[in-house]
């Protein structure tokens, strides 16, 4: 079986995945996911990049240049109806995270522009949660670090739960053209989790001219790279799908264009 170059398969090791701009062949987004046992440490030097640590499950303690942030994270599962805690750190910082119980953390990075930005604890209780779509296009969204939060220079981070038998990032949309305010250029990663974990899902990434057209079978902990093009997701019957999106580009603005071939379903009469 040929694996799509846009699909990063999960490792069973401590480091689940590691996407760098170099490995992805792009300029902005970096993404790592780690499994940490209680007591495990990870030290991250942000260098020229900004960082958002998302506590997907478990609880951690973070220290940034001597400033301590205790009790980050409360969830036992990404499918819990609870928002994650997160931590933002700008460039030129040293971040040490310690798991105080078994945890899974995401390390989301992008080029840092303002190293004087403050380190910020992002409380899950304050994150905006919403439901989008109708019928089998319904999905549940949590804004972790989106454009209305000025903490970051480039990073945009959001998580989505797509119920079984539903579609998401749908109708298909793209953000690969500099046409603000109607569309902006953003690279994107999708980090997928599946409930129950033996399940699978589907994601397609394609452009109008089909110069890029990849279909990925996604399993638990896999990452899909979206360098350009439309990128819908489908959760099959019996399996709920979670994904964490990390986006970044030349500007920190999320504006997208729907695939005109499928935009008809957004019209009011489409639900009749």
For every one of its 272 residues, what pLDDT tens digit does the chain have, with 9 covering 90 and above? 688 999 999 999 999 999 999 999 999 999 999 999 999 999 999 999 999 999 999 999 999 999 999 999 999 999 999 999 999 999 999 999 999 999 999 999 999 988 899 999 999 999 999 999 999 999 999 999 998 899 999 999 999 999 999 999 999 999 999 999 999 999 999 999 999 999 999 999 999 999 999 999 999 999 999 999 999 999 999 999 999 999 999 999 999 999 999 999 988 765 54
pLDDT at 272: 45
Query: 271: exposed, middle or buried (C-beta count within 10 Å: 0-12, 13-18, 19+)?
Result: exposed
Inter-CA distances, 248 with 184, 221, 227, 269, Å: 10, 21, 11, 35
Inter-CA distances, 183 with 137, 206, 219, 251, Å: 22, 17, 30, 11
Instruction: Give, for 24, the enclosing helix (H) or strand (E).
Output: helix 21-24
Instruction: Give, for 96, the enclosing helix (H) or strand (E).
Output: strand 94-99
Residue 181: asked if its preceding bond is cis (omega within 30°), the reply is yes
Instruction: Give, for 68, the enclosing helix (H) or strand (E).
Output: strand 67-72
For the domain bounded by 10-263, which CATH number is listed?
2.60.120.10
Query: 97: exposed, middle or buried (C-beta count within 10 Å: 0-12, 13-18, 19+)?
Result: buried
Strands (E), 114-261: 120-122, 128-132, 139-145, 156-162, 167-168, 173-174, 176-179, 183-185, 187-195, 201-206, 213-218, 223-226, 233-234, 240-248, 257-258
pLDDT at 32: 98
pLDDT at 99: 98
pLDDT at 1: 63
| Residue labelled with tokens 């079978």 | 217
Read off φ and ψ for residue 136, nearest 5 degrees. Answer: -80, 10
Q: How far apart are CA 99 and CA 25, in angstroms?
A: 32
Instruction: Give, for 22, the enclosing helix (H) or strand (E).
Output: helix 21-24
């Amino acid at each position: 079986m040929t694996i799509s170059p846009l699909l990063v398969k999960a490792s069973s090791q401590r480091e689940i995945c590691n996407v760098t701009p170099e490995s992805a062949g792009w300029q902005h987004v970096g993404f790592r996911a780690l499994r940490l046992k209680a007591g495990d440490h990870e030290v991250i030097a942000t260098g020229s990049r900004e960082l958002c640590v998302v506590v997907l499950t478990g609880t951690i303690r973070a220290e940034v240049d001597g400033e301590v942030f205790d009790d980050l994270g409360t969830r036992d599962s990404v499918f819990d109806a609870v928002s994650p805690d997160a931590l933002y750190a700008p460039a030129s910082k040293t971040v040490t995270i310690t798991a105080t119980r078994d945890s899974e953390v995401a390390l989301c990075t992008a080029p840092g522009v303002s190293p004087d930005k403050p380190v910020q604890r992002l409380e899950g209780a304050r994150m905006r949660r919403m439901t989008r779509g109708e019928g089998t296009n319904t999905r549940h969204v949590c804004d972790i670090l989106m454009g209305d939060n000025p903490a970051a220079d480039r990073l945009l981070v959001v998580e989505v739960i797509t119920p079984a038998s539903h579609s998401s990032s749908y109708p298909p949309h793209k953000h690969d053209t500099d046409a603000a305010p109607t569309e902006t250029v953003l690279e994107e990663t999708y980090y997928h989790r599946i409930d129950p974990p033996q399940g699978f899902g589907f994601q397609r990434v394609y452009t109008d001219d089909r110069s890029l057209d990849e279909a990925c079978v996604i399993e638990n902990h896999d990452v899909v790279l979206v360098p350009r093009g439309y990128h819908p997701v489908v959760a099959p019957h019996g399996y709920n799908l979670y994904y964490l999106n990390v986006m970044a580009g030349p500007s920190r603005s999320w504006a997208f264009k729907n695939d005109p071939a499928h935009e008809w379903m957004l019209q009011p009469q489409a639900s009749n």
